Structures are given as structure tokens and as C-alpha cells.
């Protein structure tokens, strides 16, 4: 609880792919005569902060002083995200360049008249391939400026190009300077070295090390190789229904069982909650194990919510109260 009290003093910079999670809700009653597909009658739309933007939203909901660094297009989804950031009190250092659109994941959810809406289809839009050179340089400058007084930096890499050679160079410089850097990278974990903590899930750990990760012993061996390769201080491996494991150099693994029900309602963005909670806790002076315990509880709470969601500091505090 004392760590939670310090969260509002922690200055967090989140670098990563700012994603618009666009939900389209509708009702379906019949199959089209044009093709064997359901016809969806549109009811409403909703845009939420997704990807690195969701990590920023979680850090803010937990009380942190947050700045998000990334790319937003000069388009409808970019404007919607800027509005959501403003509503939550999150400062944005976003680069906008010609021809670069906002990374968007549109999910179509539909159901019958008196049934809950289920996801039918997801359509992704955004830049394919590397961002323009000038955009990457501008991102590096904005990150360096935003992180001048940061207590902790979160890297939320969804592979959409914001985390690139230029921004990684800034991250390495920050880590050498002693800034706590917490990394969650879906496809390029091996590109990071010397940071504070990395948070792979089992498939990401296996892909990075080339080792099997089916059993506890296999995960332990892969984590040891990852620690040696990355040179980070700690590794937090999320294992779905098997919970989490904290690995620190020279220490025995600490295994944390799943908090709450094993069956999740929706795991969308749960990793964002975990990395944001971990970062805030470390910024508040927690040990790696303390930070992981808080993140484990926050993750257990957020997967009980539908869609892209956050956990507030008040919710976490209530869950931790005996």
C-alpha cells in the first residue's frame, strides 16, 4: 500500500506504437444473399487507447504523471486518440508526418437482439514497413526531451515502427544514465540490452532464445539465456494461466500464481497493464519481486474486464486490502 501512495509522484514516459482500438458494435439478424456472411446493422462506435497508448492509460489510471511518445496521423483516429489522451490528463509528444496514418485496429462486434456482442472480425490499418527517416529522427528527439526528468521509461513495442534504431539509441543512453527502463517488445526483444527489466510472455521468450518453453524447467533455462543475452537486471515472464515468474541474476526464480479467477473475460491489453504497473512500482522504489506482485494483481483484475481496459489505483488498493 505504501508503494501505491507514491505512484502519483512517479514521472513516466511511454514510448511505443500509439494504437486506436476502434470498436464497431452492431446487431445481426440474417445472412446476406450476396455471400455466406452475416449482415451487421451498425449501432455505435467506440475508440479506446490501444497499444502503447493503453500502457500510458494504465500508468495514468494508477496515478502516474505520464507522457506518451509516438506517432499519430493527421486523421480521424489520430484526433480521437488526442482527445482521449487529453481527457485522461496524459501529455502527448506525438510526431505527425505526411503519409503516415494512425495505427488502428477495428473490431466488429455483433450479436442478436438480446445477446451479448461477440467479436466477428478485426481489420488493421497503419504503416507497413519502416517509418520515414525524418519521422524516426523526430521521434528520437522527442523521446530524449520528454525523458529528461523521467523516473521510469516504458517501451511498448507492437512492431509498428516507433521503436526503431534511432529511438533504441536514446533508450540505451537513458539506461546508461541510470533511468529505469522497462521493455515489452512483441517481436524484437533481442534488440534491447542493458535495460532494467524486460517482460516477455512464453512465446516471445521462446522466439527470442530458440528454446522450448513448455515446462517450468524449460522456461527457467530460456530465462537464464535471455538474462545473459540481454544483460538486463531482471526478467518478468508472463505465463497466462500459470501466472508470472520473476528472474533476477544470482537469485532463485520467484513464481507468482494467477491472481483471481483462472478464466479470463478478455486478455486484450493485459500486458500493457502489467508493464505499466511494474514500471510505476519500480519508480516508487519497489524491488522487482514487489513490483511483479503488484503487476500480477493488476493483471488479474484487468482480464476480468471486456475489451481494452485499465485498472485504477483505487481498484488496486481495494484488492490489496485484507
User: Is 228 tagged catalytic?
Assistant: no
User: How far is C-alpha 47 from the geometric centre of its chain's CA atoms?
Assistant: 17
Buried b (16+ CB within 10 A) or exposed e, 124-133: ebbbeeebbe
* Measured CA distances, 144 to 57, 93, 141, 164 (Å): 21, 11, 5, 14
- 288-302 and 313-320 helices cross at what angle (nearest 10)? 100
Alpha carbons 97 and 133: distance in angstroms, whole number: 11
- Dihedral sign (CA 34, 40, 46, 52): negative
Among 151, 157, 184, 272, which one carries the catalytic annotation? 272
For 277, the enclosing helix (H) or strand (E) is helix 270-283
The per-residue DSSP string of 197-241 comes to EE--BHHHHHHHH----SSHHHHHHHHHHHHHHH--SEEEEE-GG
Residues with catalytic roles? 272
Amino acid at each position: 500500500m505504501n508503494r501505491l501512495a507514491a505512484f502519483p509522484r512517479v514521472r513516466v514516459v511511454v514510448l511505443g506504437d500509439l494504437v486506436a482500438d476502434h470498436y464497431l458494435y452492431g446487431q445481426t439478424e440474417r445472412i446476406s444473399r450476396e455471400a455466406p456472411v452475416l449482415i451487421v446493422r451498425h449501432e455505435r462506435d467506440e475508440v479506446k487507447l490501444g497499444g502503447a497508448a493503453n500502457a500510458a492509460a494504465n500508468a495514468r489510471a494508477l496515478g502516474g504523471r505520464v507522457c506518451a511518445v509516438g506517432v499519430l496521423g493527421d486523421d480521424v483516429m489520430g484526433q480521437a486518440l488526442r482527445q482521449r489522451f487529453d481527457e485522461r490528463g496524459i501529455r502527448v509528444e506525438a510526431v505527425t508526418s505526411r503519409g503516415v496514418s494512425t495505427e488502428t485496429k477495428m473490431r466488429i462486434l455483433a450479436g442478436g437482439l438480446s445477446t451479448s456482442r461477440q467479436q466477428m472480425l478485426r481489420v488493421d490499418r497503419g504503416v507497413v514497413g519502416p517509418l520515414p527517416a525524418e519521422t524516426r529522427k523526430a521521434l528520437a528527439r522527442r523521446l530524449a526531451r520528454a525523458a529528461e526528468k523521467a523516473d521510469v521509461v516504458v517501451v511498448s513495442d507492437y512492431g509498428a515502427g516507433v521503436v526503431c534504431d534511432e529511438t533504441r539509441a536514446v533508450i540505451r543512453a537513458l539506461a546508461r544514465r541510470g533511468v529505469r527502463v522497462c521493455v515489452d517488445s512483441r517481436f524484437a526483444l533481442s534488440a534491447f540490452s542493458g535495460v532494467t527489466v524486460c517482460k516477455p510472455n512464453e512465446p516471445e521468450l521462446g522466439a527470442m532464445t530458440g528454446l522450448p518453453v513448455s515446462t517450468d524447467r524449460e522456461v527457467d533455462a530460456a530465462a537464464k539465456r535471455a538474462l545473459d543475452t540481454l544483460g538486463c537486471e531482471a526478467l518478468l515472464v508472463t505465463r497466462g494461466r500459470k501466472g508470472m515468474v520473476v528472474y533476477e541474476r544470482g537469485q532463485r526464480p520467484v513464481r507468482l500464481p494467477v491472481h483471481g479467477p483462472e478464466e479470463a473475460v478478455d486478455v486484450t491489453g493485459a500486458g500493457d497493464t502489467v508493464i505499466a504497473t511494474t514500471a510505476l512500482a519500480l519508480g516508487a522504489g519497489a524491488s522487482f519481486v514487489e513490483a511483479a506482485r503488484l503487476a500480477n494483481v493488476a493483471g488479474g483484475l484487468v482480464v476480468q474486464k471486456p475489451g481494452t481496459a485499465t485498472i485504477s489505483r483505487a481498484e488496486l488498493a481495494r484488492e490489496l486490502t485484507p
